[in-house]
Each structure stands twice: as structure tokens, then as C-alpha cells.
Amino acid sequence: MEGAVAGGLIGLSAVASALVVAKWRGQPSLDGWWAALAIGGIALLGAGAASLRRIPWGRCARAIDRTAAVTTSASVSATASGNAGHDRTLSALAFAGAEASTPFACAAIRDALLRARAVEASSAAPMRRPRGLEALTLAAVVTVALALIPARRPRALASLPPDDGQPRAQAAHGERRLRLPPGSLEAEREEAAMARAAAAAQGDDELSKLAAALDQALRELMSGGLPRGEALDRLAELQRKADEAAAEAERARRALDAAGQALQAHAATRDVGQALAAAESEARAAAEKAMRALGEKTAAAGASERQKVAAALDKAGAAAADVQGPTPGGAAGQSDDKDDDEGDDKDGERQRRLARDKPPAGGGGSASVTGRSDPRDRRLQRLDRELGQAAQACREDPQACRRALDKTADELPKMEREASKLESRKRFSQAMRQARERLRRGGEGSADDQRVERAFGRAAQGKSGQGQRGASARQTQRAGQAGDSEAGEGSEAAGDPVREGDDGQPGGEGDRGGDEMAGLLAGQNGDGDGGGEAPAAQSGGSRGAARGEHGNTPGDGIGSGPGADDPLGAAEATLSSRGREREAKIKSAAAGPSRSQVIERAAGRGFAHAPYRNLFQDYSAAVEESLDATAVPPGRRYVVRRYFQLIRPRTQR
Amino acid sequence: MSAQETAPVPIDAEGEVAAFRRDIEQLFAEVGRRIVGHQAVVQGVVTALFAGGHVLLEGVPGLGKTMLVRTLAEALDLPFSRVQFTPDLMPSDVIGTNMIVESAGERRFEFQKGPIFAALVLADEINRATPKTQSALLEAMQEQSVTVGKRSYALDAPFFVLATQNPIEMEGTYPLPEAQLDRFFFKLRVGSPERGELHAILDRTTGAGDPGVRPVLGRARVLQMRDLVRQVPVARPVQDFAVRVVLGTHPATSTLPQVKKLVRYGSSPRGAQAVLLGAKIRAVRDGRFAPSFDDVRQVVPSALRHRVLLNFEGEAEGVSTDEILAAVLAAVPEEE
């Protein structure tokens, strides 16, 4: 029966596990008949296995002896006492299995047989409730409960739009609307306002539109009129546009840098190139003038000089056209394009020339040749074209060359304006990303925390601005509490390094505190029963306690500080006792291991080394004197002496 | 004796066991005429006597220890002597000495036997004598002989020593070393009598007459019974249980945290011998032909309490070896 119960238990467990897996995956429930068959089958297997198991003879004998002890029969031999049982059957079986038998063994067997006759099998092995029945019942209840629990709807299925084809935002009319704490999106709105201000200053209409859209979305969110899913969608779209705008500005920046690098390679165009590739915006503004000066200079120069200028302009145009800015499409595409360009550079340049020699009306052809269909890249194409036409003009006619270079100079400020939008667009894109992340997490954190986080992010990049100092200081404090020294250094521009250092201290103090606590414990060991009056021990202990109050690491109890060197106290310590005061003079070891180290070694490795023997003599003499002088009860004296007898030095092997 | 060993001479086991049981019940009855209560102590003493061992009795004075031994000697019809151990007691005071004897005009040394030359010896307050005197007695206990000068004198069998010690007065005593304690078969604790027992003691001892004790067994019968005990077989599972209990008292082999923490040394093999012999006698006394697990359990405290040595931590915590043994018995299963 117990085997069947065990098998049933295993079967139920297996079915319950299968049910849990099925419910979790959202699959329909298991077939009830199959589950019942599986449980029954495994229970039968368990019963079969249990019936095949051999019961030890000792167990049978014990069962008979137990029964015989209860049902003592009057017909039992007169030699038997009233205290029946007594493992007679067990002993008899052991004696029967032995090769040789003795008269006593035979007598024991006969006695056991006589008693076993009086025992009924039904009483020796009665039917009883099998063990594990409660567990089986519980498992059955759990399995049934699992079967009744509805399957979980997988997240992927739950997020799909409904089958009636309604847009998601409308279908989710009852969708959970975000309950954002007041002011929780204040940081994002602040970013939007800053972006609008930057867009107005730079004449960046696109950024201005994006900032306005973000501000509108945030207003709706705060008023509760925008469901979470729709808000995420709108923010995603805004972020995509912000990324594209930032990528466009970055491409312009890179194109100007590339053209400048190419022009620097030639002496005639070096001034223009240096101006274009300059890091400062003021220096870059001088590129237009340098280009116009180059036109006048070239117009007055000879044909060979014009050829050189033309070649330089060709290379600059090619370099600007080859610029691959970060596109929202991903890095793989960029990598492929770059590989193609590098692998077939000459072909690409030839095709570009062919393309720009065609009339501008077929501008789409240029885009198709370079593989860019984005209208935002037209400005780069125009720069390429202008540079190419200027090069052509310089090869043919000096005046045409000057006019063409003037025309190119007109194009440069536009490109520079586009490139200067890079920083503000990038920042806006980053702000959008953070807003989406916060919204995805459900608007966690208070407005203050967000502001602090944002300020910390700026401070960590060395971009602290006005009105951010307080937030940075708070963030610095948090970094210090975490004991992160690198974060603290990163926020040095806006934070308070002294404050940071103060807050970062407790982490380090813990270790030192642990060491000092070891010193304290050693000092207490040194006190012994004298009550801590040994000066050396006291000083070590107090120092450890004072400096280790912030420490969390416990000491090892041994210590090696001043308090641990002399466990009985200083060289001439005064031991106080209940009786009268007296002096115990202990020799102090000037060299070699300290007393605590000797005792520690003896405790760990045994009491059979010479330093311990010397130390023990000091102790035992002091103890005997103290026992004679103080009012230790006789019973306790025995314990003290016994203790010292137990820790006496042993003979070294 | 284990089940594998064979008995050289066929005997009527049932008859022998019945006779043993009858004789020992007679002995208990006779002792009970004078000794009130202390059944466990009397049974322990008799068990040690038939096992060929000696007993250390621990108890305060005035509980009837001397009376018990004297009564036992009378019931067994064996010579009895009592030695009060004191710090100035010399070994020769116990075992005897060579004295100059003058007879027929010539002088010669003649050995004068000490009180140890008796079948039952009561060594009262053995821990008051010096280790030298203690050793003289304990050597006699172990070797069943004494040596004076260059000559050894065998002690007649049965030779049974009952030593007593007072557990409360430790000042001026010489506690028996662990090696000497191991030579005692049992260590029995003599407790104070209960109310009814005290009434009976007063009735018997403050009256006019003394309840006489008849001799029920002689020297020969005692030796015969000793031999019989040795022939009782022990089932291997029971013997294995006894072995595991003894090993369970060793801190190195025990799994019990109390033993590992509080015990310095566990029982010696002599402890296992005492457990098994005691269990055999208990079985035969009960009319059975082999000891049971319960017999082993009952005998373990008396046989091992003086063989388990506590470390300082155990002594300082006031743990008794009986508590350790109870924990060991509870932890060791009968069937492995």
C-alpha cells in the first residue's frame, strides 16, 4: 500500500508540474483522462516495486517480538518471565544463521519458537493506514486546484491588437492610464523648453517643431488624457524624428570636416581647409572669407595653379560626398556602405563625376548613384556639386573659377548652420530617450529625483550649467554614500569634493573598525578575571572601541595590539580581588611571539611546545598565589585547578 | 561470548538458567531482609560479582554501603573485610607485610596477610588514601594477586572489591585517576532512601532484634554461576548496538554535538566488555537465554559513566556523564 501511495504521490507531482508548465505557457489544460491514467499507472508501478522489495528479517523479528511482548501467553515456558519480547526472535534468528550452535543458542531458539507460536500474524503485521496518505491527499487537492486555475494569457498575445481591427489606441479605451505624481515629468518639460529656446536661437525649425510636439505630449500625459501605450508610441515617433535630425546635423558636421581635411592637403587651399576643419565655431565662420579670397587668388594665378586648386576642390567634394553620418537605420547598413566605398573607391568617384556632370534637373539620379534617397542629404550633394563645378570652372576659365568659388562660399554658411544644430538636437534626442524609459517604467521617482538624476548625468559629462549646482551636490552625496569613488570624481565639476569624501568614508571605516574591534577583544582577553584593571589591556580596548564604532566586521578575538601582548596585564599590574589587594609580577617577553600568539598556537596545535611551557609557568604561579590570597570558594578552587591541569604543557613528541 | 563460539560441554541450558534465576532471587530476598530499598544498587553489585568485576559506590556516608557488603558476604557465605582509607594508610596496611616471627629458637620472615585477603573487601572512602595505596589495591583488583618483596600471593576466587567515595568532600582527597577508574566494572550511585524506605530502616534498626541473614550461596556456587554467565550467547545485532553505543561516546567518532563539545575521552574496550557481561547477567537473571537491546540500554549508565571523561568545558558546565550517555543512547539506533 505504501508503495502505491508513493507511486501516486510521484504521479500527482508529475501531473501537477505539467499543469503548472501548461498554465504558464497559456496552453489549454491537460486532458483529464490522460492525467488520471498517468497517476494510476505510476501508482500501480509504485505498488509493484514495493511488493518486490525484500523486507529485512530483523524488521520481521522485531514485529514478532513486539507482539509477543503484548500478548504474553500462559502456555509459555516456565522459564520465561512476565517481561516477554526482549528480542527473542531477533536473537534466535541470529543464532540460527550462525554455523555452530551452543546449548544456550539452541535454548534461545526453542524459547523464541515457543513464543512465536502464540503470536498471530495478523496482530504482528496488522493492516494500517499507509504512511504518506496525508501527503497524497494534499497533492491531489493541489493538482485539482491547479487544473481549475485559468491559464495565464501570454504577454505577447495580450499586447496584440484585438481581432476587430480597431486601432490599438481606441481598442484600449479602457487601457490603464498612467497616474503620474505631480511634477514627475517636470524635467522632461524643462528639456522641451530648453530645446525650443535653442531652436529659436539657431533658427532650427525642425527642432522647434519636435520640442513643441514633446511639450504637447507631456501636457496630455500629465492631464491624464493620454493612455500609456499611445504616449509611448508618440514618444517613439518623436524620438525617431529627433534621431534623424541629429544624424542630419552630424553628417553636415562630418562633411565639412572631411572637406576641410582634404583642402588642407594643398598649399593653395590650406587656409580654407583649416577654417572648415576648425573646432571652434568662430574659426569655422572664417571659411566663407577664405573661400572668397581663394577665388580672387586663383583668378589671378596661372593655369597650373588653377589645375592644382581644381584637383583639391575635386578631392574635397569627393570627401564630403563620402561622409556617412549616423543614420537611424542602424550600424550594419553603415558598415556595409563603408565597406563598399572603401572596396571600390575609384569606381565610386567616377560614378559621382558622371552623376554631377548631368543636369541638376535629374537630381534623383545623383541620389540613386550614391545610394541615398533621403532628401535631407541634398545639402551634401549640393556641396559636392558646387565644389565639382568650381573645380571644372577653375580648369577652364579664371573668372568663371572666381564666380564658382564665390558661389561655393555662399553655400558654406548654410552648411555651418546645419552643423551647429548638432549639439542641441543630440541633447533633445537623449532627453526623449530618457522620457520614454521613465514612462516605460511607469513614471517612477519623484520630480526631485528625476531632476537630480538628470543634473547628475549632465554633471558627469562635465556640462553643468546655471541652476544645477544644488542638484549636483545632492547627487554627489548619493554617490559618496554608495562608496563609488569614480562617480564622485566624475561629478567634481558641479559637486563638492569635500562633501563627497566625507560621505564616502564610512565604507572604509568598516574595515579599520573591524581590526580595532579585534584589538578590543584582545584587550578583554587580557583582563581575565581581574575585571579589566590592567592598564595595557584597557588602553587597547578603549582605542579599539573608539575607532571601531562604525565598523561592521567583527574582530577575531585574538588581536596583536598592545592590549593583547600581556593577557595578565602590564609588567607590574595590580590585580584586584574580593579579598585584599596584592601584586603579581609577571615577566614580560621582550622578543618572540606575544602571549596571545603563544596561547593561540597552543589552543590550535596542542600544548607541547616550549614557549607555552614557559608561559604556563608564569600563569600557574600567579594563579596559585591568587587562589591562596583571595576568597575563592573551595569548590571553585577545584575547578580552577582542574582547568590548569587540563591545559598543562604536554611532553613534546 | 558471541554466537559463533561453541560450548565444549553440553549442558541443560534451560535448567541452568532456571537454577541461576532461582538462586539469585533467593540472594536478593536474603539481602532484602536487612537492606531496605536500593534495589538497583543491590542488583548492580550482584551483577558485578557474577561478572567477576568490582564496584565503585558513590554516595554520602550513612546510606548503608557497609551494611550492604556485610549482608552480601553473609548471604554468600564468603569472608568479608573492611578497610577505611585514610591519607596515612600505607599499602602494607592493605595487602599485608613480612614480619619477623620467632619459633623453635629461630627467627624468620612470615607474611602476614592484610585485609585484602578476603572474598569481599569494602574499601571505604578510597579517594582519601594516597595514590600509592590506591595503586596497591587496584593492582590486586586487576591481577587477582598481591606482590610483597619478591613473592606473589594469589587471592582466592571470588575476589570482589567494593570501593566507596564521597562525592561532596573534595578537599584533602586524591581523586582516582582515569586509568584506575577503568578497572571498576560498575560505578553505582547510592541515593537517599525514600520516605517509606526510611520508615522501614528505622523499624529494623532501632528495634531490639537484628534480622538475621542466612547463607544461600557458597563460594562454589558463585563460581559456577560466573562460568554460566560466560556461556550466554549474544546476537550480533545486539552486540553491534553495544559497540556503536561505546563508539558513540568518543568525540572523534560520535556524531553528537554534546559528545564532540564536552567529552575528552570516550569509553575504553573494557566498557564494552562490562556492558555486554552486564546485559548477559541481566538476561539470565530474567530467565532468558540471550540479552536484548533493552538489557544493553539498562546496563550502559552503570558500566560507562566512569569511563566517559568530560573535558574542562563539560566539567565547568556541570554536565554529568549520565546525561551524555542518555543522549548517546537516544541517538544510536538499534538497527543500523
Q: How confident is the model at residue A370 (pLDDT cuts 50, 70, 90)?
A: very low
- Are B253 and B214 contained in the same domain? no
Please report, for the domain that includes residue B332, its CATH number: 1.10.8.80
CA angle A395, A399, A405 (to 5 degrees): 75
- Are B188 and B304 contained in the same domain? no
- Are B223 and B237 contained in the same domain? no
In a domain, B82, yes or no: yes
Q: Do the chains contact at A90 and B235, CB–CB below 8 Å?
A: yes
Q: Is A337's pLDDT higher than 50?
A: no
What does the alpha-carbon distance between residue A466 and residue A474 come to, in Å, rounded to a whole number? 15
Pairing of strands B263-265, B80-84: unpaired
Q: Do the chains contact at B316 and A107, CB–CB below 8 Å?
A: no
Please report, for the domain that includes residue B51, its CATH number: 3.40.50.300
Q: Is B278's pLDDT higher than 60?
A: yes
Distance (Å) from the alpha carbon of A60 to chain B's nearest alpha carbon = 12
Contacts of A642 in chain B (CB under 8 A): 312, 315
Of A93, A100, A104, the CB nearest to B231: A104
pLDDT at A505: 37
Burial A448-470 (b: 16+ CB within 10 A, else e): eebbbbbbbebbbeeebeeebee
Distance (Å) from the alpha carbon of B196 to chain A's nearest alpha carbon = 26
Model confidence pLDDT, tens digit, residues B322-331: 999 999 999 9
Contacts of B17 in chain A (CB under 8 A): 79, 107
- Residue A85 contacts B where some CB pair is shorter than 8 Å: yes
- Are B254 and B302 contained in the same domain? yes
Q: What is the mean pLDDT of residues B36-61?
A: 88
In a domain, B141, yes or no: yes
Burial A94-129 (b: 16+ CB within 10 A, else e): bbeebeebbbbbbbbbebbebbbeebeeeebeeeee
Contacts of A103 in chain B (CB under 8 A): 7, 10-13, 231
Of the candidate ranges A478-492, A556-570, B126-140, the one whose mean pLDDT is the lowest: A478-492
- Are B255 and B303 contained in the same domain? yes
A245 or A120, higher pLDDT: A245
- Residue A638 contacts B where some CB pair is shorter than 8 Å: yes
Q: Which domain holds residue B322?
A: 232-336
- What single DSSP character describes residue A588? P
The rounded percent of chain A whose pLDDT value lies above 70 is 56
- Residue A78 contacts B where some CB pair is shorter than 8 Å: yes
- Residue A34 contacts B where some CB pair is shorter than 8 Å: no
Contacts of A86 in chain B (CB under 8 A): 283, 286, 288, 292, 294-295
Contacts of A87 in chain B (CB under 8 A): 235, 238, 290, 292-294
Q: What is the mean pLDDT of residues B47-64?
A: 87
pLDDT at B54: 92
Model confidence pLDDT, tens digit, residues B211-260: 788 888 888 898 989 889 998 999 888 999 999 999 999 999 888 888 98
The cell numbers describing A113, all together, are 519458537
Q: In total, how many domains does chain B have?
A: 2
What does the alpha-carbon distance between residue B2 and residue B294 come to, in Å, rounded to a whole number? 18
Distance (Å) from the alpha carbon of B15 to chain A's nearest alpha carbon = 9
Which of B239, B288, B313, B315 should we substitute to test contact with A (largest number of A Cβ atoms within 10 Å)?
B288
Pairing of strands A574-575, B96-103: unpaired
Q: Do the chains contact at B294 and A86, CB–CB below 8 Å?
A: yes
Q: Examine the fold and report which residue of B229, B244, B279 is the final residue of a domain before the chain moves on.
A: B229
Q: Examine the fold and report which residue of B229, B259, B283 is the final residue of a domain before the chain moves on.
A: B229
Contact A465/A458 with Cβ under 8 angstroms? yes
Across chain B, what does the average pLDDT equal? 86
Side chain identity at B172, as an amino acid letter? G
Model confidence pLDDT, tens digit, residues A185-231: 777 778 788 888 888 887 788 888 888 888 887 777 777 777 777 77
Q: How confident is the model at residue A341 (pLDDT cuts 50, 70, 90)?
A: very low
pLDDT at A526: 37
- Are B224 and B237 contained in the same domain? no
Distance (Å) from the alpha carbon of B236 to chain A's nearest alpha carbon = 7
Q: What is the mean pLDDT of residues A263-280?
A: 78
- What single DSSP character describes residue B168? S
Pairing of strands B145-148, B151-154: antiparallel
The 3-state secondary structure of A213-232, one letter per residue: HHHHHHHHHHHCCCEHHHHH
Which of B169, B289, B319 should we substitute to test contact with A (largest number of A Cβ atoms within 10 Å)?
B289
Quick one: B104 exposed, middle or buried, by C-beta within 10 A (0-12, 13-18, 19+)? exposed
Contacts of A101 in chain B (CB under 8 A): 6
Q: Is A393's pLDDT higher than 50?
A: yes
Model confidence pLDDT, tens digit, residues A448-503: 555 555 555 555 554 444 434 433 434 434 433 433 333 333 333 333 433 333 33
Chain B, nearest residue to A646 by Cα: B312
Q: Do the chains contact at B5 and A102, CB–CB below 8 Å?
A: yes
Determine if the peptide bond prior to B158 is cis (ω within 30°).
yes
Of A85, A90, A102, the CB nearest to B6: A102
Q: Examine the fold and report which residue of B213, B229, B245 is the final residue of a domain before the chain moves on.
A: B229
Q: Is A531 left (phi over 0), alpha (psi -120 to 50) or beta?
A: left
- Are B174 and B283 contained in the same domain? no
Q: How confident is the model at residue A65 (pLDDT cuts 50, 70, 90)?
A: confident
Q: Do the chains contact at B232 and A88, CB–CB below 8 Å?
A: no
The rounded percent of chain B whose pLDDT value lies above 70 is 96
In a domain, B48, yes or no: yes
Burial A320-340 (b: 16+ CB within 10 A, else e): bbbbebbbeeeeeeeeebeee
- Are B217 and B250 contained in the same domain? no
- Residue A66 contacts B where some CB pair is shorter than 8 Å: no
pLDDT at B8: 53
Give the number of A-B residue pairs with CB atoms closer than 8 Å. Answer: 111
Q: How confident is the model at residue A26 (pLDDT cuts 50, 70, 90)?
A: low
B104 or A25, higher pLDDT: B104
pLDDT at A252: 79
pLDDT at B171: 66
Q: Is A510's pLDDT higher than 50?
A: no
In a domain, B104, yes or no: no
User: From the centroid of its chain, how far is CA A327?
Assistant: 31
Distance (Å) from the alpha carbon of A91 to chain B's nearest alpha carbon = 5
Q: What is the mean pLDDT of residues A537-552?
A: 39
Contact A95/B3 with Cβ under 8 angstroms? yes
Q: Is B133's pLDDT higher than 90?
A: no
3-state secondary structure of B57: strand
A511 or A440, higher pLDDT: A440
Which of A66, A101, A104, A637 should we substitute to test contact with B (largest number of B Cβ atoms within 10 Å)?
A104
Contacts of B234 in chain A (CB under 8 A): 91
The cell numbers describing A259, all together, are 572637406
Chain B, nearest residue to A105 by Cα: B233
3-state secondary structure of B261: helix
What does the alpha-carbon distance between residue B261 and residue B279 come to, in Å, rounded to a whole number? 29
Of B290, B292, B312, the CB nearest to A646: B312
In a domain, B27, yes or no: yes
Distance (Å) from the alpha carbon of A66 to chain B's nearest alpha carbon = 12
> Which residues of chain B have a Cβ shorter than 8 Å from any chain A Cβ?
1, 3-7, 10-14, 17-18, 21, 170-171, 231-238, 264, 283, 286-290, 292-295, 311-312, 315-316, 335
Chain A, nearest residue to B236 by Cα: A94
In a domain, B132, yes or no: yes
What does the alpha-carbon distance between residue B327 and residue B336 come to, in Å, rounded to a whole number? 17
User: Which residues make Cβ contacts (< 8 Å) with residue B224, sequence separation at least 6?
Assistant: none
Distance (Å) from the alpha carbon of B193 to chain A's nearest alpha carbon = 26
Contacts of B1 in chain A (CB under 8 A): 102
Q: How far is CA A103 from CA A122, A305, A564, B289, in A?
A: 32, 135, 71, 10
Contacts of B288 in chain A (CB under 8 A): 80-81, 86, 88, 108, 111
Backbone angles phi, psi at A574, to 5 degrees: -100, 120
Backbone angles phi, psi at A192, to 5 degrees: -60, -40
Model confidence pLDDT, tens digit, residues A609-624: 788 888 888 887 888 8
In a domain, B213, yes or no: yes
Q: What is the mean pLDDT of residues A153-157?
A: 48
pLDDT at A30: 61
Residue ranges of domains in chain A: 1-155, 186-243+427-440, 447-495, 508-646
- Are B126 and B245 contained in the same domain? no
- Residue A103 contacts B where some CB pair is shorter than 8 Å: yes
pLDDT at A69: 65
- Are B64 and B1 contained in the same domain? yes
- Residue A24 contacts B where some CB pair is shorter than 8 Å: no
Chain B, nearest residue to A99 by Cα: B4
Contacts of A100 in chain B (CB under 8 A): 4-6
As a whole number of Å, the CA-based R_g of chain A is 47
pLDDT at B327: 92
Contacts of A639 in chain B (CB under 8 A): 315-316
Q: Which of B162, B143, B160 is nearest to B222 (CA)?
A: B160
Distance (Å) from the alpha carbon of B304 to chain A's nearest alpha carbon = 21
- Give just the sign of the alpha carbon dihedral A449, A454, A459, A465: negative
The alpha helices in A398-491, defined as continuous H runs, are 398-420, 422-440, 447-460, 469-481, 485-490
Distance (Å) from the alpha carbon of A65 to chain B's nearest alpha carbon = 11
pLDDT at A553: 44
A257 or A501, higher pLDDT: A257
Contacts of B287 in chain A (CB under 8 A): 79-81
Q: How confident is the model at residue B301 (pLDDT cuts 50, 70, 90)?
A: very high
- Are B324 and B217 contained in the same domain? no
In a domain, B272, yes or no: yes
- Are B20 and B159 contained in the same domain? yes
Across chain A, what does the average pLDDT equal? 65
